[in-house]
Amino acid sequence: MHDGRIRLPRRARISIGLIGATAAGLSFSALGFAASPPAPAPTFGETTEVVVVEVPVQVIKDGEPVRGLTADNFEVYDGRKKQKVTGFEALDLYGAAAAQQQPALTAVPAAARRHFLMIFDLSFSEPSSIVKARDAAKTLVKGLHPTDMVSVSTYSAQKGPTLVLGFTSDRRQIAAAIDTLGLPQLVDRSPDPLRLVLTSLEDAAARPIMQGNSTFQTDKKAADQDAMLDNIKPLALASDRADMSAKRAAVAAYTRSMADLAKMMGSVDGRKMVIYLSEGFDSSLIAGSSDLKEQNDMAQSAQDGEIWNVDSEKRFGDVNTANKVEKMLEEFRRADCTIEAVDIGGLHAGGEQGFQRKGGADSLLMMAHGTGGELYENTNDLAAEMGQMLRRTGVTYVLTYQPEDIKRDGEFHKLRVELKNTPRGARLVHRPGYYAPLPYAKQRPLEKLLQTASDVMSGEDSGSIATAVLAAPFQTPGEKAYVPVVIEIDGKSLAANTTGTTLPAEIYVYALDSAGTVHDFLSQTLALDLTKTGQALKQSGLKFWGHLDLPPGEYSLRVMVRNGVSGASSLRAVPVTVPAFAKGQPALLPAFFPEAPGRWLLVKETQRGDSKQPAYPFLLKQEAYIPAGRPLLSEGKETRMALVGYNLGSGELKAESRILSKDGKEMAPAEVKLLEREAGSPDRLLATFRPPKLAPGEYLLRVTVTNGSGLSQSSTAPFLLGAPLRG
């Protein structure tokens, strides 16, 4: 029995280990050597749901974060019930240890990361201010930590909040989103359904963006700025020229749509800062007239009993509008979103001044202070102005606990965290609560998008669908390698809880480098007709074949499979190293185990544009084979396997091997024999592997090949060890 996890406030998810998948396959022509005998049908472990709530916490004293705390310094209450803290992690972005060694992106839990949502207000702002606000936004991104996630969106009265770019660490895509604000005339829209890639990867790679003490650079011409202004002008809502009734209607629509956005932000892990770039709406709608003489005259009229000379809305504001604004701010507070308001009216150049919005700064101040944020005025250097806020939020403690009886009803659960044995005067900042997950069918499209993108970027293995992934680079003409991505999906867990006759299986694959930059991706939805394939799908499973084109480097492949009806999913983070083939760099790919035919439903990716597909890479003696994603082997049973290498050198090759645990610890020697070599580019080696006596489970096979000159290359491949085959 294996425990799954549902981490909240993220949408419900259940982690499951693939503990018994067979290396089943489809028919190709006969191989040049005998494949392994047909393996038994795939078997997978059962799961139980374990609800996990993650609470990011920051402790501040005298404006600086308090470091060095442990789980014993905190008490967590879900409602009135005290909870046992079962997990504890700390992330320090600016401490002494962090300065010496920055944490790898894949090692940072999603709940510990800071998430910055930039909202460009296209309606309550002058168009020229929006254009200049882009530069201020870029300076802020320049000052963020590499682990910080950034999303870009716009607001307009015509469209409401529009997500331009989902939360990502890819600074090039962020720069493209800020430069274009998603306007179709200025951006090359890629077909990325998760909106993690906005512009083409070739254009992004050519964008000369820098970080640290450097500045963003852009080759945008004046014509692009003119195009930006032309596109924004129709969206500007000249609210100061409208009558009070039109103003109230505009603010009411604004508060409704922004409250909905705030509620959906509750599904995103970690602390969230909303960088709201706007000139603000007329605050007299809420607080009354800011004209001191007008207020004094109305006060005198009221004192003299001349009530007919007193306009209650001008004197006190509109109570109904004030309530709507407060309801919106409450949703932001519940979603753990702090609004950092930036008054972009001060960014005008002298000759560009438009009409001045009445009380705009006051409404921005109200929004910021209502959520615990600050108002920033007359500044283009947001990174410097927000420096204190960035330092203050630089240390995050993530507390984890397991509540009981969480219903999937979307209800809000209040949280309280208390400090123990901490410096006097320290104050604690944490989310006020979390929303219980809703059934997938009841979630809104934007909520599903945010949740899925957040899962992909987190890189944490999870999910109730059992999957195995194989990815390996092969040399092709040019700098980039052809990287086949083979995904094996257990049919029973994929089809579980599916209603209707069609199962939309969604597949997402993203390749991220250590800085979080996306270098390639693929996405595809497979409409599986259960009336034709349902029985075969449940008895075996689905095998998907896709590919990525990647330059030399180290990557983390984020592979997500999702049932589009039930919302059940699987996420796997797979490391891939692409050698510098063009420079003659030697390499040994992971061992490939040809699988027995006839078990999987095989589906190939849709061809991208007019790109020419390279030759099929899995060959031995000029015959094709299908490699198993995670083969099921038996103790003492010799199994054929294929090794592929580049620039291995001439002369006789020798092989040594070891069995490692799945976390990389050496377990035992392994018996690997090299039988035959097809020299060339690449070298293709026929070999055998005999697993030693070990407990059934998941292991790694590390193979080292040494040439006649003593130069060695190594690689590792996962496999599953099952019970011995007899007879």
Please answer whether residues 559 and 574 qualify as being in contact, where contact means their C-beta atoms are separated by less than 8 angstroms: yes
pLDDT in tens, 67-121: 999 999 999 999 999 999 999 999 898 876 555 555 555 567 788 889 999 999 9
Is the pLDDT at 312 greater than 60? The verdict is no
Residues found in the chain? 727
Average pLDDT (133-155) is: 92
476 alpha-carbon distance from chain centroid = 30
Please answer whether residues 564 and 505 qualify as being in contact, where contact means their C-beta atoms are separated by less than 8 angstroms: yes
Q: At what angle do helices 171-180 and 127-142 cross, to 10 degrees?
A: 170
Top pLDDT among 376 and 291 is at: 376
Can you give the pLDDT at residue 299? 64
Top pLDDT among 356 and 392 is at: 392
| CA neighbor of 279 nearest in space, from 191, 352, 190, 193 | 352
Can you give the pLDDT at residue 223? 60
The H or E element containing residue 674 is strand 671-678
Can you give the pLDDT at residue 417? 96
| CA neighbor of 418 nearest in space, from 70, 73, 33 | 73
Can you give the pLDDT at residue 313? 54
Please answer whether residues 142 and 361 qualify as being in contact, where contact means their C-beta atoms are separated by less than 8 angstroms: no
Structure tokens at 351: 């000759």
User: pLDDT band at 530, cuts 50/70/90?
Assistant: very high
Which residues, 6 or more positions from 470, have their beta carbon under 8 angstroms from its beta carbon?
484, 485, 486, 488, 590, 592, 627, 628, 629, 630
Can you give the pLDDT at residue 36? 38
Cα(458)–Cα(168) distance, integer angstroms: 10
197 alpha-carbon distance from chain centroid = 11
The angle subtended at Cα 448 by Cα 601 and Cα 558, nearest 5°, is 55
The CA-atom distances, in angstroms, between 421 and each of 73, 77, 399, 401 are 6, 18, 17, 21
**Percent of the chain whose predicted confidence (pLDDT) is above 70:** 77
Structure tokens at 265: 């932000």
User: pLDDT band at 298, cuts 50/70/90?
Assistant: low
DSSP 11-61: PP-------S---B----SPPSSPPPPPPPPP----EE--EEEEEEEEEEE
Phi, psi torsion values for 114, nearest 5 degrees = -90, 140
Is the pLDDT at 48 greater than 70? The verdict is no
pLDDT in tens, 649-679: 888 899 999 999 988 899 999 999 999 998 8
Residue entry with tokens 């290498």? 645
pLDDT in tens, 590-599: 999 998 877 7
pTM attached to this predicted model = 0.83
User: pLDDT band at 522, cuts 50/70/90?
Assistant: very high
Sequence-separated contacts (24+) of 670-678 with Cβ below 8 Å: 670/701, 672/701, 672/703, 674/643, 674/705, 677/653, 678/620, 678/621
- Start-to-end Cα distance in the chain: 30
Cα(331)–Cα(371) distance, integer angstroms: 10
**Percent of the chain whose predicted confidence (pLDDT) is above 90:** 47
> Amino acid letter at 385?
E
Residue entry with tokens 């809305």? 313
Structure tokens at 346: 């001060």
Q: Provide the sign of the torsion angle of the four alpha carbons 669, 470, 580, 457, taken in this order.
A: negative
Least confident of 425-429, 555-559, 611-615: 611-615
Can you give the pLDDT at residue 379? 82
Average pLDDT (204-231) is: 54
Cα(110)–Cα(450) distance, integer angstroms: 13
The angle subtended at Cα 404 by Cα 492 and Cα 44, nearest 5°, is 20
Structure tokens at 343: 């008054």
Is the pLDDT at 617 greater than 50? The verdict is yes
Cα(659)–Cα(702) distance, integer angstroms: 6
Is the pLDDT at 211 greater than 50? The verdict is no
Least confident of 109-113, 371-375, 413-417, 624-628: 109-113
| CA neighbor of 689 nearest in space, from 715, 719, 652 | 719
Please answer whether residues 471 and 485 qualify as being in contact, where contact means their C-beta atoms are separated by less than 8 angstroms: yes
| CA neighbor of 494 nearest in space, from 471, 453, 463 | 463
CB atoms within 10 A of CB 611: 9
**Per-residue b/e over 309-348, b at no fewer than 16 CB within 10 Å?**
eeeeebbebbeebbebbeebbebbbbbbbbbbbbbbbbbb
Can you give the pLDDT at residue 29? 31
User: pLDDT band at 380, cuts 50/70/90?
Assistant: confident
What residues pair up with 377 in beta bridges, in sequence order? 343
Domains in the chain: ranges and CATH: 111-392 (3.40.50.410), 631-727 (2.60.40.10)
Can you give the pLDDT at residue 107? 62
Cα(519)–Cα(512) distance, integer angstroms: 6
Can you give the pLDDT at residue 20? 29
Can you give the pLDDT at residue 239? 55
pLDDT averaged over every residue in the chain: 81
Highest mean pLDDT pick, 182-191, 292-301, 469-478: 469-478
* Three-class secondary structure of residue 188 per DSSP: coil
Phi, psi torsion values for 569, nearest 5 degrees = -150, 175
Highest mean pLDDT pick, 22-31, 310-319, 359-368, 573-582: 573-582
Is the pLDDT at 401 greater than 50? The verdict is yes
Top pLDDT among 701 and 455 is at: 701
DSSP 425-448: T-EEEE-SEEEPPPPGGGS-HHHH
Least confident of 201-205, 241-245, 325-329, 379-383: 201-205
Going by the DSSP 8-state scheme, the letter that residue 594 receives in this structure is B
Can you give the pLDDT at residue 302? 61
| CA neighbor of 457 nearest in space, from 557, 545, 554 | 557
Is the pLDDT at 1 greater than 60? The verdict is no
Q: Provide the sign of the torsion angle of the four alpha carbons 31, 36, 39, 45, taken in this order.
A: negative
Name the E strands within 457-517.
462-463, 467-471, 481-490, 502-512
Structure tokens at 575: 């490391």
Least confident of 390-399, 547-556, 609-618: 609-618
